[in-house]
Chains A and B, each alone.
Chain A
Amino acid sequence: MKIRSLSWLAALLGALPLWAERPAINDQKAPAGRKDLEQIQSLLHAALPKARAATVCIELDQGSGSGVVVSEDGLILTAAHVTGGVGREFTVRFEDGRKVKAESLGLNSETDAAIAKIVDEGSYPFVPIDRDDSTRLGDWVFSLGHSGGFDKRRGSVVRLGRLVRMADSTYQSDCNLIGGDSGGPLFDLGGRLIGIHSRVGQRLPENMHVPMSEYLANWDELTGGEFMGEGPFAKKPEKGKGFLGLLAEAHDGEGRKAQRVRPEPPAEAAGIKPGDLLLKMDGHELSEFDDLKDLLKEKAPEDEVTFEMLRDGEPETLTLRLGDRDS
């Protein structure tokens, strides 16, 4: 008898942390008065410092969005329409102004989920992910984001609301979003990450988030750099759309001579100069006039290519990432 009651107690104790993690206020249809409001407020106050420290601004050429760090070595969850592709490099800024380099890993163009990774080695502030899918309709939640871009004086911006709709691949909250918030985190009152900001409706209260389950279900693909799906949130790079940014002319003997470098990236940015003699691309000899063109036909924007070349008679090797012919 005694043993039995003890094991019952142990089971109860084991279950306690779970209870403690789900605030009582979430099981009420509405706060009844001041006490309940104070419960929400004090939970929010307690969760905010860690959540803010891990929320980042993502700065890309095409615009700025938000993201959130979920591991000490700098794994970032964000939205597919923010990173826009796989293997893209960008700058990440923490609220305290710290600036680091990051690279996009995989994305799902159908759900808008994307993962990136800070490239600079270091130890970063991060938040826990809600792995138990413990969120329920009506739960109190808060959003963070670098609305309208990074602003050191202002910092990241918090909004409080409730989960008002839940579907398989989308949550809707009444935390209002605006440009720049995309990719930013949605938290429960315990400070666990439950969603990533994705999009808004034309009507004010329609704010959509990608639930954590969409990340967790495809974790290996997303961290492994896979471009998933053919949805509206990102466009797969097309072969033949790779853009080098230089005009070349035939040269006596072997190789192509970079005749005139266009004043635009990526060739110019990578440091190819007029007069450089291109010998090989990715190990393939450039002996015929059309070799370079043919090789580039197989390349898509964001692909990396390596040139071996001669500059003033000296051999040089240069690696660059192709641009988009259409942009």
Chain B
Amino acid sequence: MTARRSILCLLVASTLPSWSANTLESAYRTAGPAVHAAFDEVRGALQTSSAVFQRGRKEIIFGTVVSPDGFILTKASELGELSDVTVTVDRDRYEDPVLIAEDPAWDVALVKIDAEGLVPVDLSRVDNPSHGTWLVANGATTRSKRRVQIGVVAANTREVFSKGGTVLGVALKAGDEELVVESVEAGTGAERAGLKAGDRIVSFEGEPVGDREALLEELKERRVGEEVVIGLERDGEPLELKVELAGRADVFGEEVTRNDAMSGEYSERRTGFPRVLQHDIMGNRHFMGGPVFDLDGHCVGMNIARFSRCETYAIPAAELRTLIEQLMGDANKG
């Protein structure tokens, strides 16, 4: 974590050049309808295999159709209560979606709607589409029509660690000699595991930890959602608890940088993913969850986080395939 600022001038009135008539009509700009029309073939895949989750009239998130009988994958943290949510696929609206399973490491939820004959996405076999490859995702949408939003693969496909590392979800008492829990943050893995104020942390995954620094070191390159075994002493008795890790920013908030300030509505959960495909398709936090297609209409990923005004992360096809198998497998067993 460097404190280095990123340099960019915001336009001020005095630096506005005097434009001549030399301006491209908006229809022909990259996000304009004339350019989007060239992607009409791929739009078909968006129409049949993407979903729109709405609460009332408000679009809350998109989804990716993964089975003919109504299984849909989406971004878990944007979903919220499902009771008053409807799901639109193609031209049909479905009520009463049911949450089937979740994967916290990917912030993914598997939802089931009562449907038949849907067209699941055709997952790409190309694992790592190269920089500059055209991509298409859901843009503005109406009740009956999905519209395209376009961009390209923008950076190396990679793991993105949680901003600031992971946490158990406890505040520790000041002082370096002992790791004594002062308080437990609500809604965290620590609370669910049953950690309590006054517990003394003595080991992490079986290894003794003596001070704050050692604990932080252990937590730095872990994944959000990973479960770790914490050794405790409570009232003098040894105790072991399994704690699910959370992202530091998710629990304790994060500092808003200047880049964040100029990025509009970015995803709240936007870091801490095992592997992401980065692209430059425009949108906001509500545009996540939908499929990303290449020119062949193959699904190369599913949008999972709007990181900034020009950086969006998608779960790559290979990982998506595994996730779908796992979550659907769990669902069928259940």
Contacts and interface: CB of A to CB of B under 8 A. Distances in A.
Interface string B111-133: 00000000000000000001111
Contact of A158 (B154, B258, B264): B154
Interface stretch (B34-42, B97-105, B200-208): B34-42
Nearest to A162: B30
A176 B310 contact: yes
A208 B11 contact: yes
A161 interface: yes
B282 A176 contact: yes
B333 interface: no
A30 B2 contact: no
Contacts of B186: none
A199 B11 contact: yes
A202 B2 CA distance: 26
A160 B152 contact: yes
A29 B154 CA distance: 25
Taking each of A38, A163, A165, A179, which has the highest tally of chain B beta carbons within 10 Å of its own beta carbon? A179
Interface in B157-188: 158-159
A179 B5 contact: yes
A205 B308 contact: no
Interface stretch (B16-24, B46-54, B214-222, B229-237): B16-24
A136 to B, nearest CB: 10
Interface string B278-312: 10101000000000000100000000000011110
By secondary structure, the B interface counts as loop
A34 B282 contact: no
B10 interface: yes
A121 B154 CA distance: 31
B107 to A, nearest CB: 19
A174 interface: yes
Taking each of A168, A178, A200, A233, which has the highest tally of chain B beta carbons within 10 Å of its own beta carbon? A178
Interface string B226-258: 000000000000000000000000000000011
Interface stretch (A123-131, A147-155, A252-260, A278-286): A147-155
B91 interface: no
A9 B35 CA distance: 37
A154 B17 CA distance: 34
Taking each of A112, A149, A160, A205, which has the highest tally of chain B beta carbons within 10 Å of its own beta carbon? A160
A34 B9 contact: no
B77 interface: no
B155 A154 contact: yes
Given A62-B5, A81-B7, A178 B295 contact: no
A165 B24 contact: yes
A10 interface: no
A114 to B, nearest CB: 12
Contacts of A148: 6, 257, 259, 308
Given A64-B5, A199-B10, A167 B19 contact: yes
Taking each of B22, B37, B310, which has the highest tally of chain A beta carbons within 10 Å of its own beta carbon? B310
A62 to B, nearest CB: 7
Nearest to A140: B30
Contacts of A178: 6, 8, 259, 262-263, 308-311
Contact of A176 (B4, B11, B37, B280): B280
A295 interface: no
21 contacts: A31-B38, A33-B41, A37-B38, A45-B130, A45-B133, A148-B257, A149-B2, A159-B152, A160-B151, A162-B29, A164-B24, A164-B29, A165-B23, A176-B282, A176-B309, A178-B263, A178-B308, A180-B7, A180-B8, A204-B282, A205-B31
Given A34-B41, A137-B24, A179-B5, 4 more contacts: A64-B7, A166-B22, A174-B29, A233-B9
